[in-house]
Amino acid sequence: MSFPKWFAAALAAFALSLTSLGASAAEPRPYDAQAFAAAQAGGKPILVEVDAPWCPICAKQRPILAELEKSAELSDLVVFTVDFDSQKDLLRQFGVQMQSTLIVFNGKAEKGRSTGATDPGVIKALLLKAKGA
């Protein structure tokens, strides 16, 4: 199946507009084993965010994380979300017992974790560990 040239041009323009709007690696995405392994193999700074929609601490973390992830300093952070209620296999894999857990990796090495942190400075310091800082 081939697409008209105008469609390809429109698609390219759309992709370019996303880049210019600041789409970055730091935008959270649901955990995917292949994407996680690829980010680790590429030596990327990674955040695994264990979240639950009903969790009041998670609700406090979300805007803090969103703001930090937008910063130029953390724009290359690869963010994966894990649902506390439905992804129990991943909770076991990562050794997580509570929602509101944040785990940072630099490539394949875990560099730190926190549960229940809502202080922006503490969260930022944790995220910077993923960059080796």
Does a structural domain hold residue 18? Answer: no
Q: What is the pLDDT of residues 59-70, one digit of tens each?
A: 999 999 999 999
Does a structural domain hold residue 98? Answer: yes
Average confidence score pLDDT of the chain: 85
Does a structural domain hold residue 115? Answer: yes
Residue 16 confidence (pLDDT) above 90:
no
Q: What is the pLDDT of residues 109-118, one digit of tens each?
A: 999 999 999 9
State how many domains the chain has: 1
- Domain extent, residue 125, equals 25-129
- Predicted confidence at residue 42, as pLDDT, reads 94
- CATH number, domain containing residue 43: 3.40.30.10
Does a structural domain hold residue 13? Answer: no
Provide the percentage of residues in the chain whose pLDDT is more than 90: 76
Does a structural domain hold residue 46? Answer: yes
CB 56 within 8 A of CB 66: no
DSSP per-residue letters across 33-55: HHHHHHHHHTT-EEEEEEE-TT-
For the record, the structure tokens of 121 come out as 């400075």
Backbone angles phi, psi at 125, to 5 degrees: -60, -40
Strand partners, 84: none
Give the global pTM. Answer: 0.80
Does a structural domain hold residue 102? Answer: yes
